[in-house]
Structure 1
Amino acid sequence: IDDLLREYLLFRGFKDTLSTFERDIKQDHDKGFDANKIVNELLALASELKIEELLEYWRYLSYRFFSHLSPKYHRTTKMFEKRLLRLYLVSAVNQGKREDIRAFMDKHGRSLGQQGGDWIPWLGIEYLEEPKNRAEFEAYFSDEWYLSLRSALTDFIQTVFPALAIPRILLFDKEHRECEALRRKVKLYEEHLLGETRITTAPATSGPVDFVEDHIGGVAAAASPRMRPTDANPVTGALEAAVSSETQLLDMIPTDEVPSLLKISQEEIFLEHNAGIGLAKFSPSGELIASYDDESILKVWSPDPSSAAPKVKNELDFTVNAMAWDRRHDHLLYLHDEDGFIHTLNTNTNLMSRQLVSEKRYPWMQCMIASRASSTLLTVCSTKPENTSDVSVRIWDAGANKTVASRRFSAAAEAKGVCAALNHNGNIAALAYSTGYVRLADLRTLETVGTIRTKQRDVCSAEFSLDEDSLMVVTEVGGLTQWSLRKGSQMTAESTL
């Protein structure tokens, strides 16, 4: 937008206006509405002992942004002002600038003392030899407190921007970015579509699986409408012609080579947490990510860089060992805690309810997944975290808050983990054990209807393909393989993550 304004002012010949515009850009206190830059400026002023500049900048932010917030945020604003002042005092102590502390207290000590409370000990900090060794100050001198202040202040400032009235000219930029994002998605889909046609059949590695026609029923006939010819659509015809020419080239590849399945077209890194992330799940729409870290912080946020602050950020009072999104209502998130309760979080209202209780005999949740077609929730639990030779599979009706069916399944004694996947209608479940053994079960009867022996070790994830002709299997070392469910459980493709 700034570049467009410069171009327009030059076009109109407004040179004086352009000079003023450039001067204001250099003194931009809003930092381009970048919360990280604003926080960096605040922390730098405090650390460099520029107290008057710090207070002036904070007053500007209060007038410019914080005044637009709901009154319930006024207390939060005061809290961050207090933390910045304490960062200034801590920095002065670390730098041995006792005279700066004395000047600060001479000017602001009376008003701070009138606030009472936890400010009283700080009024005499300049007279202490080693304040950081005293219990009331120790936490403020730690790196963890500084990083926590940075993270929390950034999150807070990010919540401010959506409260501002957006100029109409910025809507043009927003729509332009949305169009660019859609173009990128279309390009990715085109690359994915062409990539799917490159998969050929590899030699069989195990016995046949004959359950598909009876239990998935009709998927083969409707498999992947993207791959069926049609005379009515010239675009599809052109695409198939391109695919046909590529297939001729692929015929030259030796048949004993398994083609690569994965093509990564884009990678991004997001710094949403200050601790190790234990769980992360995309919402069914792909627009949000739920992530949970080792400090019991749960966030629901958007990977879109144009998005504002996290939609949900909670410090939970229980430990989460499994999570799953509701596939039909993508604002609902299921959380399983260490005591066996399954909580339902409404991410729109940030309200949580505790509804379901898992079986005490199988306290450790291995995986939890929701059906796309109903309110069914599938859970797989074991007696111990790293022993899945004996697991309990339970079918829950999340709407009625009750168990529909359950059954025990046994596997090899060395099985140390199990993951699950559901097909499109929730009738077939794939239980993939760490040993590489995959059990296919009909959830209407909880009977085993097929098996696959992938000979892959340390399997950690499995998923049905979109046309349900195949099962994708991922190992902990980054191996990705695709197994046919209709051709005797052949491995049709493999790649490395």
Structure 2
Amino acid sequence: MATSTDRMDNLVRDYLLFRGFTSTLKVFEGEIKSDKDRGFRADKVVDQMIGYIQQYELGALREYWGHLDRRVFCRLEHAHSTGVNKLSRSLLRLYLVHAMQNGRTEKVTEFFEKLAPEIQGQPEWREWFVLPFLSSPEQNPAFMMYFTKQWADTFIVSLHNFLSVIFHSMPVPTLLSFEMEQAKMVQLKEENDMLRQQVAVLQQRELKKALKEKEKVKLAGSGELMDEFYAGPMETRADPDSTKVARGKSSNSPSPVRKPTLLSTIKPQLASAKKPTGKTTAVMQKKEDNTQRPVSPGVQRKAQADVAKSAKPAAESAKTTLVQKQVMKQQKAVSLEQQRRELLSKAQAAQARSNALAQETQESTLMRKETEAPKDAQKLAGPSFTAKESKAGVKQEADGLSPRDGLSSLSVSTEKIPTKEIEEQHPFLVLSQEDYIEHHSSITHCRFSVSGTCIASADIDGVVKVWNFSPAPVTIATIMSKSPIQSLEWVTKPSRLLLLGSRQSTVRLYDTEAKKNLVESQTDPQYPRVVTMACSPSGSSFVCGMARQTGSIEGRLQMWDMKTMKVQRELPLDPPSVCANCTAFTFNGHLLVSGASDGVIRLYDMQRYDCLMSWQAHSGEVYSVQFSCDETSIFSMGADGKFLEWSVHRVGSKLADLPVHDGATGPFVVSGYGGYKQVQAPGGKLFAFDAEGNYVLTCTGNGGIIYKLGDSTLNKTLSLGGHRSPVVSVDWCTAMNCGTCVTGSMDGKIKVSTLLMQ
């Protein structure tokens, strides 16, 4: 109970901070500090009571016991009321004993003056009224027991155990039953995994048995044929008379009849089915005439009748044996199929119970969108199977695969079952890749619009292009600027508007449909470079980070009103000699994160326009920051070449140091002939996430690389090539059904890759 309460308090803190309810969080923290229930921890409750006794605070002690009575004890059954009353009397008696042992008789007198109207009619307190007048109460037989250390220790232990049992047996709300439900779900998953293992073992056994039966059938069939065909020549050689007849040396005496064999019975059929041609036919006919000439017609008819009689039972017995084998094989297959179906039904039932419990857990937990239940039990690497009935009988297939050719209906090829590792290596299917080559200098920004229908890109020459990428790249609008564009941001509402910040103290609001500037405002001339901009999700305001043109790195961070295009608030930067390089909002706009030139990440409360927390994140400048999809952590890239994940709720708590490839964080360099070298500092997004936050797109020297996020690891998943120079800005759109990635490089080329999750 106490552990669940502490954990749930932390979850509520995270939720309130996630939603931006900072004032509610302060009230919540204050109430936790003054919590009389002490988180339903029996040891803390007992310590609080002992503290009141030691400080002789009788009123506080009685008020605290009254709170527990109203909060907990009154909900108990009537049979427990006697025990509660005994504990209450013993607690007050411990107060009196402690006061007498320390010579505070005035506290004892005060006790009886205050409680006399309440306890004077109770027989349990009748003898205690003389306590203040006794000089040595520990020697009095009536009070001797209460002044021993053994009685005090026994009472404290009894009180602690009583409270522990009561707190543990209390009915808990749905949120606090999370651990019990999680334990049940783990148990069901373990049972499900065990059943799956049994199914996999049974499938392997069936496969081995089917292979063995197939080999036995082949060997048995070939052996029978060899025996039958081998019997004919042996019998002929064993009979000398028949040899004489075959050579034509017999006289007028009748020739003996040969024993019928399988070869003699099928010889006419073979002769009729395949008739030789040419000389071979003539020779064979001549031999047949020579062998049949000395045999009389009566003997020949009798021999043929005997052959027919003996061949018929042999054929029937062979046919009966094959039918019996087939029947036994089918019976074994049916029994194995029944066992497999029973195990499979148990596994499906366990899975259904697990899914139902996971759904209940999701509904009871306010912090989760999905199950996961837990997106953490182990999965069996073996195949899962589904039963499918057809006209030919019961046929078993693996998920997404067909049985191996040549095997029985129960045999399944386990070598082609897709494993988890294969799915992680190839999770995406590249549907198409298109190139946009309208820029003639290095790209600085490339961003999808909020609706995901178009892209805005900018280069170092101050040219901004707004273009559609589907079905083919087509330019919608071209914006020319006298000075390079330092920052580019789409407005959330309406999504057709585009914010542009330059190096010459201008912030421009551009309408991409009307193809004209709506407003162009001037910033502080002392801070002409508009380094970063981030639009609030509400669309009513945006954050603008500015810096000096030359000299020391110093800047300002301001909140602008979208309607008036004027400064609304000034956000604190401490120390002031820093510049905010990158900014990002949460989905509700209550929190803002910024990465600065001093390597510090700052988190702002946008309802109070105050800095909630800040910490040293990188040893150099912070180039790019983003919230995770669940907004419980912050990802950052810096000049020190590191890709880090930070906790939103604990100041400076690094969750992961992700091993990204070299050159992903910039600065980006292109070398040419004659020692020519072009260096570009990052200005756009250096990484982008998919819709669920499981994959991240990063920059590289010849394209983009998609990694799968793991526990403090990055697993390379897909490489999006197509560039001859370093990629300096990326973005990932998930507004439509197919995830689309865009990568812009220093040669002015932009590539759009449309991906499909397999």
> Shorter-chain TM-score category?
0.3 to 0.5
Q: Which has the higher contact order (CA 8 A, sep 6+)?
A: 1
Q: Normalised by the size of structure 1, how large is the TM-score? A: 0.46
Q: Normalised by the size of structure 2, how large is the TM-score? A: 0.31
